[in-house]
Structure 1
Amino acid sequence: MKTMYVIENTATGKYYRKLGVEAHQYTDIRYATPFSKWKKAKQKADILHAAISPIGEQINFEVKQHKFYVLKNRNDKGYMNQASYSAPKDKAIMFASEEDAKREAIDLATAMARVGVELSFKVEEL
């Protein structure tokens, strides 16, 4: 099991999501950008805090541990996207909740069955 971290904006209860080099947004936990190292998440949280402190905003950012899940196929490969059902697990799409991962596994299996392809995944916690 791999520990992952997210950054919470404590004023809004929303989570940091990286969109680009300098672009980001605050969103639901399902779309939060996970960090594999606490130190890296803490550094980013400190940068976010320093960027808004000069404008007088009293917003704090807290680094929190969070469980993420991936879908694995029978060959122990992860689901990456509609075109790749067998990516390395570290490239697989991560789901913020086990329920989201299970729902996606069912939806994928159902969609593929309609075109005659048998596909199944199991949910694994990172």
Structure 2
Amino acid sequence: MLIEILIIFFTIIIFYEIFNDTFFISKNNLICENFAITVNNSLPDQNNKNVGELQKVSGNQDMTINDINSKLSKLNDNINILNQKIKAKSDIGLQKYNEITEGADIDINNTENL
């Protein structure tokens, strides 16, 4: 008698779990479908734009990219000019430093005269 009750109890639990999972999955699917419908309805309709408008937008983007590239190349040229000026000045400064310190032996450990 106890074994029969346990068997019935476990079969009820097994069927409950099977049907509960099935219900839960179908409920999640409904939630996902409702969400997808809501998102699709809230997005702007891209199909209504004609080809001319789309080409105009993409053309403007190409012009913007070309403008940015030209400005970057001008900046690069200016940076190269500045680097050349800095290098020229540093070469002159280095030559003067070498002329001043030529033949001078400095004792690093003796700091009294510095």
TM-score, scaled to structure 1: 0.18
Higher relative contact order (CA 8 A, sep 6+): 1
TM-score, scaled to structure 2: 0.20
More helix by share: 2
